[in-house]
Every structure is written in C-alpha cells, then in structure tokens.
Amino acid sequence: MEFLALDFETATAQPDSPCELGIAVVRGSVVREVRNWLIKPPQWPYFSPWNIAVHGIRPQDVADAPRWKEIWGEVAELLDGSTVVAHNAAFDMSVLRSTLAGHGLPHPTFQYFCSVSMSRKLWPGRTSYGLKHMCDMHGIPLKHHRAANDAEATAELVLRATDQRPSFDITQFLLDAKVKIGGFYPGGHRTPGGKVTAVGAQ
C-alpha cells in the first residue's frame, strides 16, 4: 500500500500562511520517510499569537527558512500522481489551494481523502475524532501540532485502519470503506463531497 500523509501549520488564520509542512511517505504499508519544511510565509514577520500558542513556531524560527516557491518543486514531485491523506483535510487542502493561488502556481494532479472521515466510518460512536484522541486510542506516539509529527501519526492511523480491511491498494481500501475521495488537477479542485472549483474561481 502506498500513500502520503500531509500536514500544514500556519502563521495566521489566513490559509495562505503556511509556516511548516510535513509529509510522511508510505511505501509497502510502512512509513519509509518523513519530510519536514519550515517555510517563511508571505505575512512574515507577523504571526498570530493564537497560532503560535498552538504550534509553538515563532517568526524567528522561520527567519532564514525558504519561501514557498523554493520548496514547491520538491513538494510537487512528491504529490503528483499520489494518494494523499490529511487529518481534517478541508483545512490542509485549503492551505495548499490558497498558497498555490497566491503564488500563481498550477495544481498538481493527485487524489486525497480525510482521515477524520475515514475514522468515523471505521470506528463509529467515538466522542472525538481529533488526531490526539485517535492516536491515544491506537497507541500511536504524537507530538501534536508539529507538521512532521502530525503527518507521521496520520499515516500510522491510516495503516491501523487498513489492518481492518486488508488491501494492497489504497484506492480500493477507500472504496471498500466508503470513504469519499477528492482531487486536485491542473484546472481545479474537487472536494470529497463532490464540489468542483475551477482555478481562479472565488
């Protein structure tokens, strides 16, 4: 089974303010690699105090970090053609869409799903489907709200889920589990709920 788990942390409430990105790479049903990028957002040096309280990343931590365009080639190469998961994917995909739009960059092509939705399908009746709660339930180590840690924990959560429904193909697993799939493509974006938005549309 192959997929990527992705997580963003942002500097402000604006979605186009990524200050950290983590991607966990799963190959052969094992997390093979975890990549992490600190990012200097367009809003620098302003960081929302609320966001700092969540993730602990401060303006000085990214003062010498690359800008989005400097890392995008490497990130795009990973994403293109992949299946991507994020915990609360609506947030992370909004960050990606807004950041690409703000830099005038085209969308890569990949499909994605939300591990919150997946968890609700596979483990109904829980009081919370937050990442910390799901990790506690499955004994997955988590240093919450740092991108690489959240991405790796999300990948491990999906692997726990696939143990219940053995399949060598992540897409077949999602279809069997009735988890909705969204997608990015050069002309736009489709949410797992089926809403289609063209690039440049408001």
Q: Which of 6, 2, 4 is nearest to 150 (CA)?
A: 6
* Residuewise pLDDT in 10s, the chain (202 residues): 999 999 999 999 999 999 999 999 999 999 999 999 999 999 999 999 999 999 999 999 999 999 999 999 999 999 999 999 999 999 999 999 999 999 999 999 999 999 999 999 999 999 999 999 999 999 999 988 899 999 999 999 999 999 877 677 999 999 999 999 999 999 999 999 999 999 876 4
Q: Which of 192, 189, 160, 200 is nearest to 175 (CA)?
A: 192
**Per-residue pLDDT, 201:** 62
Any idea where the domains of the chain sit in the sequence?
Answer: 3-198
CATH of domain 3-198: 3.30.420.10
CA distance 184 to 106: 10
**Per-residue pLDDT, 145:** 86
